[in-house]
Amino acid sequence: MPPEALRCKECKTEYPLEARYVCERCFGPLEVSYGDRSSADPAELRRRIQAGPYSLWRYADFLPVEHPQSALGAGWTPLVRADRLARELGIGELWIKNDAANPTHSFKDRVVSVALARAQELGFTTIACASTGNLANAVAAHASAAGLESFVFIPDDLEEQKVLATGIYGTNLVAVHGNYDDVNRLCTELSGEHEWAFVNINMRPYYAEGSKTLAFEIAEQLGFELPDRVVAPIASGSLYTKLARAFEEWLEVGLVAGRLPVFNGAQAEGCSPVAQAYAEGRDFCRPVRPETIAKSLAIGNPADGPYALDLARRSGGAIDAVSDDEIRDGIRLLAQTTGIFTETAGGVTTAVLRKLAQRGDIGADERVVAVITGEGLKTLECARGTFEAWQIDANADAFERAHEERLALAGRG
């Protein structure tokens, strides 16, 4: 089932598999379309997957790349059972998909792997991106691994950790005075003037396909079964909608059985155009000006907003938003019950999971997967002030005194 064409999501006009992303007829977004899969043999597909590398390239049969390759690798991250968090939330079966365990510590290594492999096939020697932070890390790293020139455009108010963890790779790092939506507008203009592969602009149809591998892994790691419910964050809505597309593709070829999971989307209140549209029953998003600690999700004008709304509704899910304080609590809750330290985006996901549990939306016999997309060391500021280290002199007496003081305090509390 090799990819056949780029196809407009709205009017279905087809285009060759080039670096393009928008329909010339109706300005709708383009996506990769594959040949007829109805005659595929699921046993053979499964054998090919299981014989593949322990990376996202084990799903090459479902990706728009002729020569699967990446110098850095990505994917095959842990899916861990989270019984203590489940008990804390009062739900049955909970799994955490920990995509912080990627080479540059976020799920963006997946989308960049696919976009970059396709860009090389198309002959590009320079890659670029408009980033909310994690994409900058991934593009800079994968470009240096592949020996390509790169240009990375970021809003100038990004977390210091993400700036440092990008510049170190020797990319052309461009801090733009503005928010992500300004950066994106600038890059869209530049993509018309330079022969560069902007991974999330002119390469966006290929980039988006990379997110499917996260869902393929979840299904494979559950023994080729589907979860009942998925909780995932929404920035542009690409990840959220492509997770569902991946499950639908595997249902279609018979690699898994059952029905599409319920899809819960997670946003930060300070940037929640999709959650607001969901709450108001609209099928389009009103752009907002982001103001949240969840900078990796701070897209005020989400490209895939309408498709995310459609998915939430047709899967029986919802899209919820949580406050910055709830996000910080979510980060702490996940860390203290699972040993996984996530960035603000994962705090958003965990806080929405908690909200769903409190609202009674999650059935007792459901198998739930929460998608943790990034690493806590990239948003360290959120941990500051949440605890205090014991300060002692270097002798045993000092330790025992401090210990007793702590016990007394705990006893009184």
Ligand X SMILES: *Cc1c(COP(=O)(O)O)cnc(C)c1O
Q: Which does 108 bind (CB under 5 to 8 A by kind): Zn ion, ligand X, none?
A: ligand X
Nearer to Zn ion, 10 or 121 (CB): 10
Q: Which does 70 bind (CB under 5 to 8 A by kind): ligand X, Zn ion, none?
A: none
274 and 265 in contact (C-beta within 8 Å)? yes
Q: Which does 292 bind (CB under 5 to 8 A by kind): ligand X, Zn ion, none?
A: none
Q: Which does 168 bind (CB under 5 to 8 A by kind): Zn ion, ligand X, none?
A: none
Piece in contact with ligand X (CB under 6 A), picked from 46-54, 164-172, 229-237, 276-284: 229-237
Contacts of 364 (CB under 8 A, 6+ apart): 91, 92
| 93-98 and 79-81 beta bridge pairing | antiparallel
User: Does 237 engage in binding with ligand X (CB under 6 A)?
Assistant: yes
Piece in contact with Zn ion (CB under 5 A), picked from 28-36, 101-109, 186-194, 392-400: 28-36
CB 105, min distance to ligand X, A: 9
Q: Which does 406 bind (CB under 5 to 8 A by kind): ligand X, Zn ion, none?
A: none
Strand positions, DSSP E, 225-281? 229-233, 262-268
Q: Which does 241 bind (CB under 5 to 8 A by kind): Zn ion, ligand X, none?
A: none
Piece in contact with ligand X (CB under 6 A), picked from 52-60, 231-239, 243-251, 277-285: 231-239
User: Does 239 engage in binding with ligand X (CB under 6 A)?
Assistant: yes
Piece in contact with ligand X (CB under 6 A), picked from 142-150, 176-184, 237-245, 326-334: 237-245
Question: CA torsion angle for 49, 315, 275, 235 (degrees, to 10)?
Answer: 10
Among residue numbers 374 through 403, which ones bind ligand X (CB under 6 A)?
A: 374
Contacts of 133 (CB under 8 A, 6+ apart): 154, 158, 159, 162, 295, 296, 378
Count of positions on this chain that bind Zn ion (CB under 5 A): 8
Piece in contact with Zn ion (CB under 5 A), picked from 11-19, 253-261, 323-331, 397-405: 11-19
Nearer to ligand X, 45 or 183 (CB): 183
Strand positions, DSSP E, 296-386? 318-322, 367-372
212: which 2 tokens?
């499917």
206: which 2 tokens?
């290929």
Q: Report the amino acid identity of residue 162.
A: K
CB 232, min distance to ligand X, A: 8
Q: Which does 296 bind (CB under 5 to 8 A by kind): Zn ion, ligand X, none?
A: ligand X
CB 346, min distance to ligand X, A: 7
| 367-372 and 229-233 beta bridge pairing | parallel
Longest dimension (CA), the chain: 78
The three-class DSSP label of residue 253 is helix
Return phi, psi of residue 19, to 5°.
-85, 80
Distance CA 271, CA 292 (A): 7
Distance CA 379, CA 158 (A): 10
Piece in contact with Zn ion (CB under 5 A), picked from 24-32, 58-66, 128-136, 253-261: 24-32
Residues in the chain: 413
Q: Which does 154 bind (CB under 5 to 8 A by kind): ligand X, Zn ion, none?
A: none
The H or E element containing residue 30 is strand 30-34
Distance CA 127, CA 120 (A): 9
Nearer to Zn ion, 20 or 185 (CB): 20
Question: CA torsion angle for 372, 135, 328, 242 (degrees, to 10)?
Answer: -40
User: Does 215 engage in binding with ligand X (CB under 6 A)?
Assistant: no
Nearer to ligand X, 45 or 237 (CB): 237
CB 292, min distance to Zn ion, A: 33
CB 344, min distance to ligand X, A: 8
Nearer to ligand X, 255 or 356 (CB): 356
The three-class DSSP label of residue 246 is helix
59 and 49 in contact (C-beta within 8 Å)? yes
The single residue among 1, 4, 5, 10 that binds Zn ion, judged by CB under 5 A, is 10
Distance CA 403, CA 405 (A): 5
User: Does 26 engage in binding with Zn ion (CB under 5 A)?
Assistant: yes
CB 359, min distance to ligand X, A: 23
Nearer to ligand X, 199 or 235 (CB): 235
**Residues contributing to the site for ligand X (CB under 6 A):** 106, 108, 134, 233-240, 296-297, 343, 345, 373-374
